[in-house]
Structure 1
Amino acid sequence: MGATGHLGSRLVPELLRHGHDVAVLVRDGTQAARFPTNVLVHVGDATHPHVVGEAVTGCDVVYFLVHSLDRPDFAEVDREAAAVLVTAAADADVRQVVYVGGPRPDSPGLSAHLASRAEVGDVVAAGPVPALVMQASMVIGAGSASFELLRSSARLTPWVPVPSWMHNTSRPVAVHDVVHFLGAAADLPEPVDGVFDVLGPEQLSYLELVQRCARVLRLPVRLPLPAPLWSHKLAAQVAGLVTPVSAAVAEPLFASLDHDLTATSPPVTDVLPAPPGGLTSVDNAIRAATTPVDERTGGEVFTEERTVLTDAAPEDVWRTVNALGGKDGWHTIPLVWTVRGAIDHLFGGIGLYRGRAPEVGEGDVVDFWTVVHRDDDARQLVLRADMKMPGHTLLDMRVDRAGDRTRYRQKITFTADGLLGRLYWVAQKPLHDIVFATMARGIVRKACTRP
């Protein structure tokens, strides 16, 4: 459970590479298309006993990677899901449960986030099935909410507000190392029952982490500004405006920085092998996590993906994709591109109406896009937006098989130019989501009506 999250999405291919049969539970049926056809996908809510019972039946090892931090009632939801899991795992004769939570500071007044992680770990550990509970500090990896906040703090301005909690320390660990330990748990000769720390090689303050991230990104040293009034809530509100992380998620994460996060349990290497070559250094973990950053602009990368399944033939969907623009239009909200093109033209851009040739290849124009890549065998078309904006946008469209159905995949990648680019992404995202979701459905709908 949690197969579409930051850790789960990396663990599934890791398990497949090592020859394991994999089943996952996802909340939204549209997410099923994200997995290879040899993964058994169950659809339902992790708090529903019958759904979880079906998902874990026949499983030897069950991973519980659920974390509902984007909900205000996340502690209640995660507690309930954990209780459902331990009962279902016992009924299904599961051999081993594996859970990744957070560290347990040896200090009073735990944040809601850390308290919830500890509570879920206790629920899992108290169950009748042996539970390997891993306690990890900040996981450094692209897409991790904690790391995205760190990266944004390093990139946002040359100055860093430094309240007292920025001086508290932790042992951040590379996502590659955490996934290694999770994968190794599937090969344990005997079940393990206990709580273990997953710690990185260095104990660093959050301010030191910001400086380290800036260094890896080839930025100048960030200038610390004492900010005694810089509360968790204020920091979260700012983060919600200028980072990919919402304020609701950022606030409990910032509150967790009120504690020094040090080792309180035996190291996980007491029961699992260390990664080949040892633990990843903080610098190399940050470097790996920032690989998607565009080296030309140093811009922060934002992505948005969606998938639509259809009974239309792949060839029909692919023909529809290749006919986009010009007289066929974009199969989205009427006039939205017309208005956007008019605004662009007003500010000296190329506008919308450049048209297109009947057949286009790399370098050809499609309205306000340019073809970057076209592969008819792989059924992939990548377009670059040419309108004026504080960043660079790519639209990647692919068509393939998903069992006996056709899968249309659409990915937007926006590389922001500095703070203005981040603000642009945040400001336009609500309408952006509606426009491109409508477009994806419209493409599939059009393909179903092709002669």
Structure 2
Amino acid sequence: MDTKKILVLGASGYIGSQLIPHLLTQGHKVTAAARNVSYLQSRLKPHPKLTFTYLDLVDKDRTLETVHGHDVVFFLVHGMAHGHDFLEYELSLAINFRDALQGSGVEHVIYLSAIQPQTGNSEHLEARKKTGEVLRQSCVPVTELRAGVIVGTGSAVYEIMKDLVYNMPVLLAPKFVSSKANPIALANLNHYLVSLVKETPASHQYFEVGGPEVLSYAEQFNIIGEAINRKRKLVPTALLTPSMAAFWLGVVTSVPSAIGKALLAGISHDYIANADEIQARYPQTMITFEQAVKVSVMQEGEFVRSNVWGFDPQALNRWQPGFGYYPKNAGASIYTELSSTQLWQIIKKIGSKEEGYFFANYLWRTREWLDFFFGAGVPVRRAPTNPELEVGEFIDSWKVIRCEKGRFLSLLFGMKAPGMGRLECTITDRGEYRELDIRAWWHPKGFTGLLYWFAMMPAHLFIFRGMVRAIVKKAKAAGLE
């Protein structure tokens, strides 16, 4: 087999993180590049042919260094989560990558893009289109795959639809719910992506990819409802504008509002791919939407079987169908000249009798007692017994599920609530200073899980801001080296 050196840009995203194991199975040597390397490492199992590297495409020099020496590069980067100016942001990243290709030795770029509908447009679709134009300005042949809705656990559009069915008794939807698409199953998309690695094209090319049937979004909702045994009445309304719908999605689904807004504008038109050409070149059995949904439902919770949760048996057992795939999060960061060791000497005392939670301890204690009296049955006081935190140790109702001394601590949420969560303390060395981040991650269960999260949001923001400041203050006072 002709194996190649492959660079995956945007490796921590939905497509990249699940594509990499397929590339490794084919014997290729893979470099996974992302801004959040620790998260990527927690998602993927170690492999002798897999290398992780930090890369922010904003850094032109680092981009040049990373791209050099690979045979094939997957460009799976998008900026939808960046906010309102993501078009300009995406194009700046594409330009830096294009420039890095000059003299790099790269033979082929594979770019996952979006179908361009016959009518209408959106900033998301415009960004995908213009990014392709920028990449094709390079001297390296680019293969652009233009996809519509991808069906699989973690796909943003699919997760939005699934969350709505799980969370809402009645589905209020914009009028464009009658728009049509031919969604492609993740397994079918992977077949095309892996097959393209074998190619060394002489010029740029593009293919549209889609599934075997054309369905309206209303029909897709009905199929998802039947698959999870939750049939919902769909009520299209002109009162729900795209902007209002995006805000609504941020409240009633786990998908971030910025991503939901960008995607909504794109799916407000028919989104139908003509996949005849690529299917003729790389034939395979195409999976129907119903089959793809059933597979995804059976695989719900698979992502929890990763080091994100420390492979903790308690976490695996607690996961339930209907928990949001994308977690809500709230936290606070602070920058300091203190060393990682100084910060860790304080952090490792979390939950101890002398330190508690460093800030607003009365709120933590109140929450514990409420849990104790209203049915959770969790002991209120279980301070750490080991001066050095260890995986498996309990701190009140929290459980240590990951601990990387001097850098990272993850605690499994053990209190009674409709969902599943964790609390993370992260120390990142930025060279001349350190960044301390404390953040709660919450996978809500249904609408009650969402209500719980938003009810706790003000307290979270207040507490975490106080915690990071208190930790830095205590570390300075301790004068530890």
Settle same-fold status: TM greater than 0.5: yes
The aligned runs of 1:122-201 (5 Å cut-off) are 122-188=133-199, 190=201, 193-201=204-212
Q: Secondary structure at the match of 1:327?
A: coil
Q: Give the structure 2 partner of residue 367 of structure 1.
A: 396
Q: Give the structure 2 partner of residue 82 of structure 1.
A: 94
**Is 1:334 aligned to residue 342 of structure 2?**
no
Residue 208 of structure 1: how far off its partner (Å): 1.3
The aligned runs of 1:90-109 (5 Å cut-off) are 90-107=102-119, 109=120
Distance of aligned partners of 1:263 and 1:374 in 2 relative to their CA distance in 1, 3 Å threshold: closer
| Bigger mean CA deviation after superposition, 223-232 or 57-66 | 223-232
**Is 1:300 aligned to residue 300 of structure 2?**
no
Counterpart pick for 1:215 among 223, 226, 234: 226
Question: Counterpart amino acid of 1:367?
Answer: D
Distance of aligned partners of 1:433 and 1:301 in 2 relative to their CA distance in 1, 3 Å threshold: farther
**Is 1:268 aligned to residue 282 of structure 2?**
no
| Bigger mean CA deviation after superposition, 60-69 or 279-288 | 279-288
Residue 103 of structure 1: how far off its partner (Å): 0.7
Q: Secondary structure at the match of 2:206?
A: strand
Q: Secondary structure at the match of 1:22?
A: strand
Structure-2 separation of matches of 1:202 and 1:382: 44
Q: Give the structure 2 partner of residue 389 of structure 1.
A: 417
Q: Give the structure 2 partner of residue 403 of structure 1.
A: none
Q: Secondary structure at the match of 2:353?
A: helix
Structure-1 separation of matches of 2:203 and 2:297: 33
**Is 1:69 aligned to residue 80 of structure 2?**
yes
Structure-1 separation of matches of 2:133 and 2:182: 22
Q: Give the structure 2 partner of residue 230 of structure 1.
A: 240
Deviations 1:390-444 (A, max 9, x none): 334466999xxxxxxxxxxx997745343121122244357648867968x979x
Deviations 1:80-132 (A, max 9, x none): 3223323322321311010001111122x212211221222233234331111
- Structure 2 unaligned regions, length at least 5: 1-8, 305-317, 332-338, 404-408, 427-437
| Bigger mean CA deviation after superposition, 233-242 or 181-190 | 181-190
- Whether the aligned pair in 2 keeps the contact of 1:172 and 1:282 (CA below 8 Å) is no
Structure-1 separation of matches of 2:392 and 2:139: 61
Structure-2 separation of matches of 1:374 and 1:116: 38
- Whether the aligned pair in 1 keeps the contact of 2:114 and 2:125 (CA below 8 Å) is yes
- Whether the aligned pair in 2 keeps the contact of 1:125 and 1:133 (CA below 8 Å) is no
Q: Give the structure 1 partner of residue 313 of structure 2.
A: none
Counterpart pick for 2:214 among 188, 203, 216: 203
Q: Give the structure 2 partner of residue 405 of structure 1.
A: none
The aligned runs of 1:234-245 (5 Å cut-off) are 234-245=244-255
Distance of aligned partners of 1:288 and 1:114 in 2 relative to their CA distance in 1, 3 Å threshold: farther
Deviations 1:315-351 (A, max 9, x none): xx9xx97x86453656x4423x531331453573468
- Whether the aligned pair in 2 keeps the contact of 1:342 and 1:351 (CA below 8 Å) is no
Q: Give the structure 1 partner of residue 14 of structure 2.
A: 6
Counterpart pick for 1:18 among 15, 19, 26: 26
Distance of aligned partners of 1:382 and 1:250 in 2 relative to their CA distance in 1, 3 Å threshold: closer
Structure-2 separation of matches of 1:268 and 1:372: 48
Structure-2 separation of matches of 1:413 and 1:54: 34
Question: Counterpart amino acid of 1:251?
Answer: K
Question: Counterpart amino acid of 2:253?
Answer: T
- Whether the aligned pair in 1 keeps the contact of 2:254 and 2:444 (CA below 8 Å) is no
- Whether the aligned pair in 2 keeps the contact of 1:24 and 1:55 (CA below 8 Å) is no
Q: Secondary structure at the match of 1:39?
A: strand
- Whether the aligned pair in 2 keeps the contact of 1:62 and 1:96 (CA below 8 Å) is yes
Residue 181 of structure 1: how far off its partner (Å): 2.5
Q: Give the structure 1 partner of residue 130 of structure 2.
A: 119
Structure-2 separation of matches of 1:297 and 1:147: 15
TM-score in terms of structure 2 length: 0.72
Structure-1 separation of matches of 2:156 and 2:439: 20
Q: Secondary structure at the match of 1:161?
A: strand
Structure-2 separation of matches of 1:433 and 1:283: 37
Question: Counterpart amino acid of 1:19?
Answer: G
Residue 58 of structure 1: how far off its partner (Å): 0.3
Counterpart pick for 2:451 among 391, 412, 423: 423
Question: Counterpart amino acid of 2:453?
Answer: W
- Structure 1 unaligned regions, length at least 5: 399-409
- Whether the aligned pair in 2 keeps the contact of 1:141 and 1:289 (CA below 8 Å) is no
Structure-2 separation of matches of 1:47 and 1:296: 39
Structure-1 separation of matches of 2:479 and 2:28: 41
Query: What is the root-mean-square deviation in Å for CA atoms of aligned residues?
Result: 4.5
Residue 2 of structure 1: how far off its partner (Å): 1.1
Q: Give the structure 1 partner of residue 256 of structure 2.
A: 246
